[in-house]
Chains A and B, each alone.
Chain A
Amino acid sequence: MNELLEITTTRNNPHVDPSMGMWEWQIPVYLFLGGMVAGMMIIAGYFLFTGRHKEKNCSCFFIPIVSFVLLSLGMFALFLDLAHKLYVWRLYTTIQFSSPMSWGAWILILVYPALIANILIKPAKWMTNRIPILTEYSKKINEHPFLVKNIGIANMILGMMLGAYTGVLLSTLGSRPLWNTSLLWVLFLVSGLSAAAAFVHLFAKNKYESELLAKADNGFLVIELFVFVMIFLGLLSSARPHIEAAHLLLSGAYAPVFWVFVIGIGIIVPLIIQLLAVNHKVSHTAIAPILVIVGGLILRFVIVSAGQFSHWFNAHLH
């Protein structure tokens, strides 16, 4: 007869049993949008820092408006997730230094002024038509190249913080072995950058920037693959719960989605297409960037869902 090890429980709390499922679609959607906006802020900040705003059609002019909208959508998703919505203001009556979620709440407050400053460098027509004074502000900012540079730096730094904190938030939750890797923030930051590069590439009017971002995206995708390898090496050489957590993605329940959508369609296929495109073997199309963006979204769903599924084992009779 075979060996038996069975644990049964009478607990059946909603969204906790049989396996943790507290965080649903809202969290991955927020993590994705937050990550992509973070990447776009870094890109726009870099363009401002290098003085590309002198070009007429620099992407740094449409990025902050799109970021503003996408980030607000993401925050709305986050708000939808809160179970005690009327008390949301409690986030802003305190700073909890041990809680990355608390840092995040404050980082988000700082991100908006940086985005608005970036918007003011060259406000869109529909804005100046409604609020003529914006033209004045814009003029004043542009008189000081030093100021523009600093707005660029602020956008880069806050973008980094925004992109990183989402990963730190999950990785400090040691109760979920899959998240318990200190490289998660690197993964989320790079994935955010790659989705952002893809997104801006899709809409960039400036030829030079479009080409540059396709090349940069190839770099980000390669780094992302490398970070995945490092994460799995770390988990696989850790304790049993971590090994099992890695196998959830590598060969377990989440393997089909992980290999096909995250690695295959989200990284390898667009990487090949874009490598051919930047070497002028094929022309640039929307396919690769769209795949990268969809892959980034699915990545967040897989990490949030599989992470909640991963757990410690509580068996004592051995």
Chain B
Amino acid sequence: MPRYGMVIDTRKCVGCQDCVIACKTENNIPEGYNRDWIVTESHGKFPDIQMEIRTERCNHCSETPCVSCCPTGASHIHDVGGVVLVTHEMCIGCKACVEACPYDARYIHPDGYADKCTFCVHRVEKGEKPACVSVCPTYCMHFGDLDDPNSEVSKLLQSRKWHVNLPDAGTKPNIFYLV
């Protein structure tokens, strides 16, 4: 079974927010809400400052506190690619999953259910790339099967240095940032 993930090159990302806008239009995200966003991290002592810009979203983790805490089974792991999804008609809006995610990647949709990035699974199942990946003008985002050693994402991870977000939180995230 494939394990979908993303590899994002922080050396190419300029924080243009194209991915953010693409997601909002593709998935009809209500005003004021975001499934993906840009984080800028600056560190150092002037004039020796380092900066990393990265686009973030739900990490579609392999260990999912957001799924295990869900009292109804609405939060679940999809049959295809280990994508973490929410079935809207099963969600009671108890917010446990929102609290359980150490990345704060979820929110409660104005219609009442928990919502977050779906890896655009509706596109992926048609053989397309997630909306954010498809629009990036610097080609900094790569989507694919992490379990396939010959996939583009696996090869990038073998050849470059990378980090994940909050490795200590124990969620085994599936989004990797090249440095």
Which residues from chain A sit less than 8 Å from chain B, CB to CB?
Answer: 1-17, 20, 22-23, 81-85, 87-88, 90-91, 93-94, 96, 98-102, 104-105, 169, 172-176, 239, 308, 311-318
Contacts and interface: CB of A to CB of B under 8 A. Distances in A.
Majority SS at the chain A contact face: loop
Nearest to B179: A316
Given A13-B34, A316-B163, A105 B71 contact: yes
B32 A20 contact: no
Contacts, number: 176
Interface string B87-110: 001111111101111111011100
Contacts of B45: 1-4
A3 B49 CA distance: 9
A91 B72 contact: yes
B25 interface: no
Interface string B27-66: 0000011100111111111100111100010000000010
A10 B53 CA distance: 11
B65 A83 contact: no
B71 A101 contact: yes
Contact of A4 (B33, B49, B163): B49
B80 interface: no
Among B33, B39, B50, B99, chain A packs the most CB atoms within 10 A around the CB of B99
27 contacts: A6-B42, A7-B39, A8-B39, A11-B37, A14-B33, A17-B104, A82-B92, A83-B93, A83-B112, A83-B113, A84-B93, A84-B111, A87-B72, A90-B92, A96-B72, A98-B67, A101-B69, A172-B68, A173-B100, A174-B170, A175-B99, A176-B99, A312-B102, A312-B166, A314-B39, A316-B163, A317-B51
Contacts of B99: 20, 22-23, 173, 175-176, 308
Contacts of B112: 83-85
B161 to A, nearest CB: 11
A191 to B, nearest CB: 21
B92 A317 contact: no
A318 B43 contact: yes
B154 interface: no
B17 interface: yes
Interface residues on B, range: 35 or more
Given A14-B33, A22-B108, A81-B95, A312 B41 contact: no
Given A4-B46, A316-B163, 12 more contacts: A2-B45, A4-B45, A10-B17, A11-B34, A17-B104, A83-B112, A87-B93, A90-B72, A99-B71, A102-B72, A174-B65, A311-B104
B79 interface: no
A2 B73 CA distance: 49
A314 B98 CA distance: 18
A299 B179 CA distance: 44
A102 B73 CA distance: 10
B170 to A, nearest CB: 7
Given A82-B92, A87-B90, A173-B100, A317 B72 contact: no
Interface string B157-179: 00000010110111000000101
A5 B69 contact: no
